[in-house]
Chains A and B, each alone.
Chain A
Amino acid sequence: NAGVMQNPRHLVRRRGQEARLRCSPMKGHSHVYWYRQLPEEGLKFMVYLQKENIIDESGMPKERFSAEFPKEGPSILRIQQVVRGDSAAYFCASYKTGGATNEKLFFGSGTQLSVL
């Protein structure tokens, strides 16, 4: 039973480059969340997706950031023209809806993005 898989674990980019972060949810989970943790800060909600659908992107910066969760393949968080302020740990979590009251998010190990 593989957990939530994120890759790469570490990603180094120069200012102006693109960063692509991948997340494969747990088997049977149809919902994916992306969170960002800046140094010495908490987990900030970015976006919540279902297969082929963005449910809530209220935490996503309006420019340069996008996310998708295609019918086949992992969810992708894409950051265009990265800046130093994008350096953070990006966590993906997955969720299985079923109506039970004890549902919870399962997190991946995160991708540490460093922008030089």
Chain B
Amino acid sequence: DQQVKQNSPSLSVQEGRISILNCDYTNSMFDYFLWYKKYPAEGPTFLISISSIKDKNEDGRFTVFLNKSAKHLSLHIVPSQPGDSAVYFCAASATTSGTYKYIFGTGTRLKVLA
């Protein structure tokens, strides 16, 4: 049972335009969400997070939106740069469960074209 889903395996965007990566979840207990970026042969690195008490969090070019009723979150990158080309994973956790277990999606490969 895939509790965190990223239905788009890949996305291509022109440099300077907006990249929108989507993530859906099924477990209503999830209350903390994170996005990670991964380059080949490296470990994932943290990008941005959002708690379920918010519906938006912004950090520079990166903004995460959370729609709790739809169990959906999205990562917006504006403007997109070639260096943003990587695999992006969303992750979710049910912090109230006390176990701090993070479930990851299958990832979306973003390619930013120069």
Contacts and interface: CB of A to CB of B under 8 A. Distances in A.
B49 A41 contact: no
A101 interface: yes
Given A42-B89, A42-B106, A42-B107, A97 B45 contact: no
Contacts of B65: none
A101 B43 contact: no
Which of B42, B43, B107 counts the most chain A CB atoms within 10 A? B43
A43 B101 contact: no
B26 to A, nearest CB: 15
- Interface size class for chain A? 20 to 34
A93 B45 CA distance: 10
Contact of A45 (B45, B49, B101): B101
B46 A97 contact: no
Which of A4, A43, A56, A97 counts the most chain B CB atoms within 10 A? A43
Contacts of A105: 34, 46, 91, 102
Contacts of A45: 101-104
Interface SS of chain A: helix, strand, loop or mixed? strand
Interface residues of B, number: 24
A4 B42 CA distance: 12
A101 B34 CA distance: 11
A97 B98 CA distance: 10
A58 B103 CA distance: 12
Contacts of A4: 43
Nearest to B45: A107
Interface in B9-51: 32, 34, 36, 41-46, 49, 51
Given A101-B51, A106-B46, A95 B100 contact: yes
Given A43-B44, A102-B49, A109-B42, A56 B104 contact: no
7 contacts: A33-B102, A41-B106, A56-B99, A101-B51, A104-B46, A105-B34, A106-B46
Interface of B: 6, 32, 34, 36, 41-46, 49, 51, 89, 91, 95, 99-107
Interface of A: 4, 6, 31, 33, 35, 41-45, 48, 55-56, 91, 93, 95, 97, 101-110, 112
